Structure 1
Amino acid sequence: MSNETIKIGEYIVIQKQNYRKLHKFNKPDSSINLGRDSVNLKGIEGCPYFSVFKLVPKTNKKNRDYTVELADEAVNLKDEIDIKESGNDNRNIIDDGRSQKLTAAEIDTLRSDSYKASDIVETLISNSKTFHNKTEFSQDKYLKKKEKKYFEYFQVLKPNLRIISEVMYKLEPGKIQNLRIDTLSQIITLANVQSEGNHMLYDSGSNGLMAAALLSVIGSQTNGKLVHMHPGNMSQKQALLAMNLPEEQMNRCISVNVYSALRQFYQGCDTNNVVSEETESNSSEPNKKILKRISDDDIVESVAKKRKQDQDNEDNDAAEAVDADKQRENKKPKWHFDNIAASEIMQGKMDSLVIVCKEDPLNIFNELVTFVKPGRPFVVYYSVAEPLQQLFVALKSKSNVAALKLTCNWLRNYQVLPERTHPEVTMNTSSGFLLSGYILK
């Protein structure tokens, strides 16, 4: 049950109606901005995920500063407001800005004094000259607009891949290379990502979303590994960290710089501290001078003493060398050991290859395809079609791949309501293109 409660240091998702926001809950009294409202989250720690909280004004609603209290459920305006009559059409309604009897100052005062949002909206409706003449659909649209403005509840959701993907895509799809949740599912299917096996990912700009998707499939109680390659000094991991995965599962993802990992694989690295010949010769000079000064009768004894002394010096030097090696090992950065771990996995070949890039995918594919086992799949994602078309033509002329397929992901959202089902007016239908196939040799 501890995994199902809100804890300090984890990512949470705040949902207020259709608006969602990803937030790292670092402190018990941390604050978050929901639109123009500033909300102090003190009191949500330890509550179960998917709990509903009510916004409570600190002083008055005009300041837009709120605290929270646990609520049983969110109350909708339509459930509290009883509309008894509606018109047949809106032809005789003129929007001249004078249909509301209350002034702006009176509405502000009403908002500050009223405890419930339904009281505010009911007062606005009673002072409207045209509301009861509107059609049922128009009245419903008006209530939704006011509910969005005065809604006083929010819910804390537990992050998962679908929620994180939808939040990031809606916020700014360009930062995740227009990756939608349906595209992620297709990539996982085409790459045949499973809990067992080693998988390679090259990602240069999905904000960790692709790594989060692959690692969520691999799981924690398995032997699978994910080699996550990236072009920069640090990998993008926001989506991966937002999943709140256990440490055991996070350790199955090895994030390495692509150039450092390839250099480690092809060249290796000498980590032993070897004493140079010059140092050895310099250290023996004092012993030679001492031997020249002693008499012939003492040569045997001196030689014996010297051998014992040299043996002791060698033992001391060996111990110091071991200590020095341990100190150097401790001082080496984490990426050094990550490169070694990734290189060892790459030597055993990979079970799939996924490329999500902003660069020309041809050179990246040619460099990484050598690490994939024969008969294993690959998937290359790009936000536009032209680079994948060039890669498709280039691979068609080679004999090391088969079953090439270039597909487009297109999705159209629909509003589904009684007598009002139609495509959404504004939407982003693009989610990139996929080139998939299998490695032959």
Structure 2
Amino acid sequence: MTPDNTIRVGEYIVIQKQNYRKLHKFNKPDSCINIGRDSVNLTGIEGCRFHSVFKLIPKGGKRTKEFSVQLTEEAGDLKDEIDVKTSGTDNRNIIDDGQSQKLSYSEIEELRNDAKKASDIVETLISNSNTFSNKTEFSQEKYLRKKEKKYFEYVQILKPNLRMISEIMYKLEPGKIQNIRIDTLSQIITAVNIQSEGVHLLYDSGSNGLLAAALLSAIGESNDGKLIHMHPGNMSQKQALLAMNYKEEQSSRCVSVNIYSVLRQYYQGCDIHDTNEKTDHNTMKRKAESPVIQSKIPKLEENLEENTETKPDTEEKAVDNSKTKENDGKPKEFKKPKWHFENITAAELLKGKVDSLVIACKEDPQNLFDELMQFVKPGRPFAIYYTVAEPLQKMYMNLKIRSNVAALKVTCNWMRNYQVLPDRTHPEVMMNGASGFLLTGYVLK
């Protein structure tokens, strides 16, 4: 068995080139990944340790954008390799007229083809620059960082963790994870006091599995911890959850279920997916105790019909299997899909009540909370996340007059990034300040 800190096929990895990071599933030993405009073949990284550094080797000459990788000791630092001897006191007399570089474009391209490393290219550019020696020390450093970014020839393979995945997804497209930043994620985990024991309930309608990954990480590998991951669609979003590369022992603690299907299972003791039972629609509607379920019956059945058509273990497939005869002439029994047993497992866990409730939704949070709070044990916390404040403010006023909740609080996380450099410490000019709002409290009864 390979150690956990070894790069293995079939798992997710994080590829870092300077400050740029990309999440990638390493499906096969010779897989390729695009880093900017470059295509990098990952042949040779399998079996290496995480945090290993690889040098990019051009394929078919320097002009190509295709690279292979070669294991190396460490990445070179351009600033350390180039010795800058003189610098100016200010940049007021420097005129950017496009004529400061003596080398032509064709000569620079030829230099790139002949040079063995990036420092050789940059040193030649500096020696042929009319203005570099007159720039201030800060301007020279900025120039070197800019050239290093252009000619940097190393990548590092990192092991995914929750912070990396959160930052990558937030930087790539925050709307796909409901603008949940890493600081908001930590506040949610703290507010509901996630522990390694007990049962925890999550309703998530669009964080790409980030919340489920965070809560499961907090639960850990305990034998007693369970996470019920409810979602509104046919299939749950699990990219972040899968990217954590959890072992089967830990990933099995997360039970992903459709919210309408599991509530039907809870109230009526049967799943309408079950092809062995024929339940009359009016009878099911009359038995259902939940107002939300009653209002969702037509939509629920429509969703479940679509679910049956799209899932691999469909009712139609089960019927086809039933036509196959065993050697003794008896028909085979239906092979029930995985979600059928997950619904049963989740319903049984809900009967024993849960120790915390987390809701991160795009729908009206009030109806969801009213339906799910009955499954929370008295004295246990809840946290509701929403991208804007108004629904939570309205919900706060509605809950304030009730006697079954306490310690209500609406908060907004606002984190500011700072550039910290000698004599140049200031907030970053460009940053996204939106990370949603939280309504937290405790269920009393």
Instruction: Specify the TM-score bucket, using the shorter chain as the normaliser.
Output: 0.7 to 0.9
- In 2, Cα distance between the equivalents of 1:81 and 1:169? 35
Q: SS of the counterpart of 1:3?
A: coil
Helix, strand or coil: the match of 1:394? helix
2:362 is paired with a residue whose SS is coil
| 2:386 aligned residue | 382
State the alpha-carbon separation in 2 of the partners of residues 177 and 108 from structure 1. Answer: 44
The Cα shift of 1:112 comes to 1.7
CA-CA distance at 1:274 after TM superposition: 9.0
Give the deviation of 1:59 after TM superposition.
Answer: 1.6
Report the counterpart of residue 123 of structure 2 in structure 1. 122
Aligned equivalent of 1:425: 429
What's the CA shift for 1:222? 2.5
Q: Kindly indicate whether residue 403 of structure 2 is the aligned counterpart of residue 399 of structure 1.
A: yes
Relative distance call for 1:272 and 1:239 in structure 2 (3 A) is closer
1:28-177 mapped onto 2 (5 Å cutoff)? 28-177=29-178
SS at match of 1:5: coil
Q: How does 1:282-321 map to 2 (within 5 A)?
A: none
Regions of 4+ moved over 3 Å: 270-275
Match of 1:337 among 337, 341, 345: 341
Who is 1:209 aligned against?
210
Equivalenced residue count is 394
Deviation per residue, 1:203-236 (Å, 9 max, x gap): 0010000000000011123211000000000000
* 8 Å contact from structure 1 (residues 265, 343) kept in 2: yes
The amino acid of 2:410's aligned partner reads L
The residue aligned with 2:240 is 239
Cα distance change of structure 1 residues 224 and 69 upon mapping to structure 2, 3 Å threshold: same
Show CA shifts across 1:234-274 (max 9, x none): 00000000000000111100000000011111112286969
- In 1, Cα distance between equivalents of 2:276 and 2:392: 47
Code of the residue aligned with 2:134 in structure 1: it is N
Q: CA deviation at 1:430?
A: 1.6
Letter in 1 for 2:420: V
Describe how 1:188-227 pairs up with structure 2 within 5 A.
Answer: 188-227=189-228
The separation in 2 between residues aligned to 1:84 and 1:414, in whole angstroms, is: 30
| TM superposition shift of 1:431 | 1.1
Q: 1:327: which partner in 2?
A: 333
State the shift of 1:439 in Å.
0.3
In 1: Cα distance, 2:10 partner to 2:343 partner: 28
**Cα–Cα, structure 1 residues 272 and 418, in superposed 2: closer, same or farther, change >3 Å?**
closer
Whichever residue aligns with residue 369 of structure 1, its letter is M
Residue ranges of structure 2 left out of the alignment (5+ in a row): 279-325
For the pair 1:7 / 2:11, whether they are aligned, the reply is: no
CA distance in 2, matches of 1:232, 1:105: 56
**Cα pair 2:354 2:375 within 8 Å, conserved:** yes
Shift in Å, 1:60: 1.6
- Identify the structure with the greater helix proportion: 1
Q: Does the alignment pair 1:18 with 2:24?
A: no
For 1:274 and 1:239, the matched residues in 2 are separated by 36
How large is the RMSD of aligned CA atoms in angstroms?
Answer: 1.8
Structure 1: how far apart are the matches of 2:270 and 2:79?
69
Q: Secondary structure of the equivalent of 1:429?
A: coil
Whole-Å separation in 2 of the counterparts to 1:350 and 1:61: 60
Q: SS of 2:382's equivalent?
A: strand
- What amino acid does structure 2 have at the position aligned with 1:174? G
Equivalent residue, structure 2, for 1:284:
none
Tell me which amino acid in the other structure corresponds to 1:134. K
Q: Residue 408 of structure 2 contacts residue 439 of structure 2 at CA under 8 Å; is this kept in 1?
A: yes
Q: Structure 2: how far apart are the matches of 1:18 and 1:164?
A: 14
The residue that corresponds to 2:318 in the other structure is none
Match of 1:313 in 2: none
1:369-402 Cα deviation digits (max 9, x unpaired): 1111111000000111111101101111211100
Mapped partners of 2:276, 2:344: distance in 1: 18
CA contact (8 A) 1:16 1:153 kept: yes
Which of 362, 369, 374 pairs up with 1:358? Answer: 362
Q: Using structure 1 for the length normalisation, give the TM-score.
A: 0.87
What secondary structure does 1:378 align onto?
A: strand
What one-letter code is carried by the residue in structure 1 that aligns with 2:141?
A: D
The residue type paired with residue 89 of structure 1 is: D
Look up the SS of the partner of 1:68 in the other structure: strand
Give the distance between the partners of 1:176 and 1:352, measured in 2 at CA: 21
Name 1:291's counterpart in structure 2. Answer: none
1:372 maps to 376
Residue 100 of structure 1 aligns to a residue in which SS? coil
**In 1, Cα distance between equivalents of 2:197 and 2:138:** 53
Asked if 1 retains the 8 angstrom alpha-carbon contact of 2:355 and 2:377, the reply is yes
Query: Which segment is superposed worse, 165-174 or 83-92?
Result: 165-174
Flag the structure with larger Rg.
1
Cα contact 2:205–2:231 (8 A) shared by 1: yes
Find the residue that maps to 1:2 and give its secondary structure: coil
Shift of 1:83: 0.3
> Contact 2:59 / 2:66 at 8 angstroms: preserved in 1?
yes
Q: Does the residue aligned with 1:431 lie in a helix, a strand or coil?
A: coil
Tell whether the 8 Å contact from 1:12 to 1:156 is kept in structure 2 after alignment.
yes
Which deviates more, 382-391 or 235-244?
Answer: 382-391
Distance 2:433 2:225 in 1: 34
- Contact 1:60–1:113 (CA under 8 A) maintained in structure 2: no
- Inter-partner Cα distance in structure 1 for 2:196 and 2:184: 20
- Are the aligned partners of 2:197 and 2:222 in contact in 1 as well (CA < 8 Å)? no
Distance of 2:140 and 2:419 partners within structure 1: 18
